[in-house]
Amino acid sequence: MKCDLAAGCDSDGDGTADAAFGESVALTPAFSLSALRSNVAGEVAVNVTTLTDLATRLAEQNPNGLDAISIEGANSQVANLFGITGDLSALPVIDLTDSASLAAVSDNSARRAALLSAGLLQAASSNGGQSMEEALTALATEFLANNGQLIVNDGGADDSVSLSDVLSAVTAIITAVETASETDFGEVATELEREAGEAEQSAEGELTNAQPSPEAGSPALAQAKAMVGDVRTLVNASGLGVLETGAKAFGDNVEMAGKLLEPDLDSAVGALEQAVTAMAEALEEHMSAATAPTEAYSYQASNGLTIALTPAGDGVALSVDETLDGNTLAINATFAGTVEEDSSEDEDSWQDQLTVDVSLSATGSVSNSGVTLTLAQGSAIALDFTATESENWTNSDSEQGWNYSSDTSGQLHLNAASLLLDVSIAQAASEAVANPLLFTGTLDLALNGGHFSWQESEEHGCTNNDSGSVCEDHNSSTESATFDSASLKLSGELADSEDNKVALSLLINAEANGFVLEHNYSELYRNLWSDSGMSSNEHSAEDGFNDESEEAFVSFDFSLSVVAALPGVAEQTSISVSGARTGLKEGSLSGELQWLGKQLDISADAGSETITATNQDGVVLTLHEEEGSNIIGRIRKGDELLARVERSGDNLVLVRYKDGSFESAI
């Protein structure tokens, strides 16, 4: 077997990898994987993975024994647990170490399954001291003990395998695969990375809540009909009435608690602003001092706050620990790095060079009687760049007229910039606030390899002649910007004390691929002056940006999810949208809805005018207007055509099933 674990494969559990990623690994004789499939007729291919092995063990544990319902129910539960659509054992197996194998399968669900299968094994193996077989058995034992669920976040415990562990392993495997081959997992990678972040931030010890599809084990036609019902409920806006009701109840509480929270929060944020202003003032004084202090000292800021400074090497630690307008401030910040500036100037020019490599991390809290605002450990901003700017000018004045011109140019090379904010806002319970709110959120922004340049020219002058003078003002500028890569992670959760919550998570990765955004601007004013004043004037201007090309364009992929656990809704509901721009006019968009125990993946390819929806049973609905026909879609499972979606008249869409039954889409 080829090793497809990023950390390498330790088949005998001696703590040393026996094979690196991509190398062949000899398995112990005890190592085995299994898969179960029901209602098999004729010759079928069954693909065996770590995922099918877990499903097999889950089915075998079913007290009703092995039958179509227990087998397909187990397969479906494992698939739902990992957000995979389709029949687990029918998904094509991908060799992650072989770029040809990767290129041969573009199906996102299959790629996701391959990554998760490897991630499971890597997460299980990483607990150490176990052969791969033992690790897999330990994983299965824990999985079965939790009735087919995983702990979402085990806080890094060594004796368990959590969903967070699996997704982190997947992220590492993605990096290993993309490094070893030219494969770009695109939105699948972004989606999994976002899910890893969400799992990592989940409360420790909570179990996943994956359920088998209600139609697991049913005939394909019944699954198709169930899917149409799900899509109908989804499409019909008021079909989410249960959610609306829940959202309204939660929203009412947020609104009511928010009104009570607002003055306290305003006060806390105001105090924080005062603290930041005072720290910035203290830092500026410290940096600009002719001789920087080397011992700890206090600085009294102009707003009255006292900042304690403790110099350390190139940096300085700042802290404020005071009470301001009823707010208790306890903020610690650490500034480190260097700022070097070199400038020169003469009669007709100046130059300036700035080299910055700094970081500022902060932690602490501001609290009052109504709210506590906490800046968690890790919140930091870092900048590493070099900038140069210069200007030169000329000036002349004579009887024939006068002229002034200047040229300014500069460039900034950004090695890296990052911002990480980890904030929580906790409302205090009181007589007026029985159900207080808690908001936690993080913002992680990173930019690598940025390059910005700018050039400005201006020329003003007047030329005198017999009838008066001609004056011209000419301004032009060119700005350009590019970057190597950028990423944005944003996550937030708003919850109340009754465990109702709405969480949002967004991850965007982008690359410029050589595209440089340019902005060119020029304008000319031309005025004719005579003795009686201005006799005529002209104005012209050009302003524009350059376009991307087939070769140079900004590519990106993103993944957004919203998870809600609301009153009246038995299970969590999540909506996620992922997309990728892979070419100038190429891209894809997909969405996943997990709602009331069901799952629906919707994807669209730019330009193809085709929308595909796949549900948890592997039933695929393809919507595509067929020319010369009233058929606008087909429903299949595998190669079996189960239904046609047809337009009937102007307003009616019918789904016609292969058994002769039909139903309106809504």
Partner 1 sequence: MNPQSNHRHAAGLCQARLLLALLCGPAPVTAQALASDDWQFELFADSLSYSETVPIAAWFDELDGPTRRGERAFTSQRLTSGLRHGPWLAQLSSRYDTYLQFNPDTFEAAYRNENDLGLVSGQQYPIALQGEHLRGNALSFGYVGQWQQLEWRLVAGYLRANEMFDGSMSGVVSDDGERYQGQAHLDWVYSEDLLLDRAVSAPTGHGLQSDLWLDWRPATGWHLWLHLDDLFTQLWWRDIAYTQAELDPPASANPDLFDDPLLSGVEGYRDYRQRLPLKIDAGLRAPLWRTMSGGMRLRVVDQQLLPELSLHHPLGHWQFGLSYLLQADAPGLVIGHRYLALQLASDSLDWQQARTLVVNLALQLPL
**Sites of contact with partner 1 (CB under 8 A):** 228-229, 232-233, 236, 238-242, 244-245, 630, 646-649, 652, 654, 656, 660-666
Contact 507, 193 (CB under 8 A): yes
Q: Per this entry, what is the length of the chain?
A: 666
Q: Is 279 left (phi over 0), alpha (psi -120 to 50) or beta?
A: alpha
- Whole-angstrom distance, CA of residue 157 vs CA of residue 138: 14
Nearer to partner 1, 396 or 664 (CB): 664
Residues 6+ apart with CB under 8 A from 157: none
Q: Rounded to the nearest whole angstrom, what is the least distance from the CB of residue 650 to partner 1 in the complex?
A: 8
Nearer to partner 1, 194 or 644 (CB): 644
Q: Rounded to the nearest whole angstrom, what is the least distance from the CB of residue 228 to partner 1 in the complex?
A: 8
Q: Rounded to the nearest whole angstrom, what is the least distance from the CB of residue 213 to partner 1 in the complex?
A: 16
Q: Rounded to the nearest whole angstrom, what is the least distance from the CB of residue 629 to partner 1 in the complex?
A: 8
Q: Is 596 left (phi over 0), alpha (psi -120 to 50) or beta?
A: left
End-to-end CA distance of the chain: 50
- Whole-angstrom distance, CA of residue 598 vs CA of residue 614: 11
Taking CA 164 as the corner, what is the angle to CA 162 and CA 169, rounded to the nearest 5 degrees? 100
Q: Rounded to the nearest whole angstrom, what is the least distance from the CB of residue 664 to partner 1 in the complex?
A: 4
Nearer to partner 1, 446 or 631 (CB): 631
Contact 547, 233 (CB under 8 A): no
Nearer to partner 1, 250 or 385 (CB): 250
Q: Rounded to the nearest whole angstrom, what is the least distance from the CB of residue 372 to partner 1 in the complex?
A: 39
Q: Rounded to the nearest whole angstrom, what is the least distance from the CB of residue 503 to partner 1 in the complex?
A: 24
CA-nearest of 575, 581, 620 to 598 is 575
- Whole-angstrom distance, CA of residue 261 vs CA of residue 534: 61
The radius of gyration of the chain from alpha carbons, rounded to an integer in Å, stands at: 32
Nearer to partner 1, 238 or 302 (CB): 238
Nearer to partner 1, 238 or 298 (CB): 238
Q: Rounded to the nearest whole angstrom, what is the least distance from the CB of residue 632 to partner 1 in the complex?
A: 12
Nearer to partner 1, 273 or 626 (CB): 626
Alpha-helical regions (H) of 146-300? 163-180, 186-201, 220-235, 241-288
Nearer to partner 1, 241 or 583 (CB): 241
- Residue linked to tokens 């996102």: 108
- Whole-angstrom distance, CA of residue 364 vs CA of residue 275: 11
Contact 491, 201 (CB under 8 A): yes
Contact 278, 303 (CB under 8 A): yes
Nearer to partner 1, 29 or 649 (CB): 649
Three-state helix/strand/coil letters over 273-295:
HHHHHHHHHHHHHHHHCCCCCCC
Q: Is 323 exposed, middle or buried (0-12, 13-18, 19+ CB in 10 A)?
A: exposed
Q: Rounded to the nearest whole angstrom, what is the least distance from the CB of residue 214 to partner 1 in the complex?
A: 12
Q: Rounded to the nearest whole angstrom, what is the least distance from the CB of residue 628 to partner 1 in the complex?
A: 12
How far is Cα of residue 635 from the mean position of the Cα atoms in its chain? 32
Nearer to partner 1, 624 or 647 (CB): 647
Nearer to partner 1, 106 or 238 (CB): 238
Q: Rounded to the nearest whole angstrom, what is the least distance from the CB of residue 637 to partner 1 in the complex?
A: 20
Residue type, 474: H
Q: Rounded to the nearest whole angstrom, what is the least distance from the CB of residue 616 to partner 1 in the complex?
A: 17
Phi, psi of 115, deg, nearest 5: -65, -40
Print burial letters for 227-245: b (CB count within 10 Å at least 16), e (below 16): bbebbebbeeeeebebbee
Nearer to partner 1, 541 or 666 (CB): 666
String of DSSP letters for 448-475: EEEEEEEEEEEEEEEEEETTEEEEEEEE
